[in-house]
A and B are shown apart, each in its own frame.
Chain A
Amino acid sequence: SQQGEEDPQALSIQEGENATMNCSYKTSINNLQWYRQNSGRGLVHLILIRSNEREKHSGRLRVTLDTSKKSSSLLITASRAADTASYFCATGGKTSYDKVIFGPGTSLSVIP
């Protein structure tokens, strides 16, 4: 089954730096999504990129998708302390019967 695997597992950067997180998956997908989770809270959807798209932007977020390598990256530019959270990629399958599969996440710490 398709599965997102993020790396690194943990990332610590200084405020103002860019943060890059990667996600790899195993099977064909319809879309790939990135979610954010603050400690002890629910997940918040950040961005969805479809399999026929290569790059997508939303504010300080930039997501790329390479279906030939079965990988995606999430770039957060000019990071802020408030960006400290866990970030999950999730893959959506090809059919309506497929569920969204979440990876284990990357824990991002932005140091003021």
Chain B
Amino acid sequence: SQTIHQWPATLVQPVGSPLSLECTVEGTSNPNLYWYRQAAGRGLQLLFYSVGIGQISSEVPQNLSASRPQDRQFILSSKKLLLSDSGFYLCAWSSLAGGETQYFGPGTRLLVL
């Protein structure tokens, strides 16, 4: 069966520090991968999605970036965190492109101080 992992679960970082969040998927090949951010009590904002290795589409201009160095690995990064980067970051995968079912990881709660 397929599983998706995210780490770390929680992270407290100072403003201006770098960020690296990792997401890996097991049990499937060529998944579509997504990074979302969720503000407290709000819906999900799509940040990046990828349909293959090295293929990244950005939805929202910001100081974040994403990379997909391997088929089942998706990394969210920042060179310098802002206070506004605080939030709950969710990684998800789907087996088909477009608007099909997505399967979410447990999330990373990021607090930038």
The closest CB in chain A to the CB of B57 belongs to: A99
Question: Is B104 within 8 A of A31, CB to CB?
Answer: no
> Which residues 89-111 in B have Cβ within 8 Å of A in the complex?
90, 92, 94, 96-107, 109
Stretch of B38-46, B70-78, B79-87 contacting A (4+ beta carbons < 8 Å)? B38-46
Report A44-56 CB contacts with B as 1/0, cut-off 8 Å.
1100100000000
| Contact A92 B100, beta carbon cutoff 8 Å | yes
Q: Do A100 and B99 touch (CB < 8 A)?
A: yes
User: Please, which residue of chain B has its CB at the minimum distance from the CB of A107?
Assistant: B41
Q: In the bound complex, do residue A42 and residue B104 qualify as a contact, i.e. CB atoms below 8 Å apart? A: yes
Q: Are the CB atoms of B43 and A102 closer together than 8 Å? A: yes
Complex contacts, B88 vs chain A, CB 8 Å: 40
Please give the number of chain B residues whose Cβ is less than 8 angstroms from any Cβ of chain A in the complex: 26
**What's the minimum C-beta distance from A106 to chain B, rounded to whole angstroms?**
11
Could you tell me the distance in whole angstroms from the C-beta of B50 to the nearest C-beta in chain A?
12
> Once the chains are docked, how many angstroms separate the CA of A40 from the CA of B103?
16
**Interface bin, chain A:** 20 to 34
Name the interface residues of B15-50: CB closer than 8 Å to any CB of A. 34, 36, 41-44, 46, 49
Q: List, in ascending order, chain B residues with CB within 8 A of A95's CB.
A: 98
Choose one: A42, A92, A100; the contact of B107 (CB below 8 Å).
A42
Chain B residues packing against A (C-beta within 8 Å): 34, 36, 41-44, 46, 49, 59, 88, 90, 92, 94, 96-107, 109
Query: What are 17 sample pairs from A and B whose C-beta atoms fall under 8 A apart?
Result: A40-B88, A42-B107, A43-B44, A43-B90, A43-B104, A44-B104, A45-B103, A88-B43, A88-B44, A90-B102, A91-B99, A92-B98, A96-B97, A99-B46, A99-B59, A100-B100, A104-B43
- Name 14 extra pairs, CB < 8 A, besides A29-B99, A98-B99: A41-B106, A43-B90, A43-B92, A43-B104, A45-B103, A90-B102, A92-B98, A96-B96, A98-B98, A99-B59, A100-B94, A102-B43, A104-B42, A105-B42
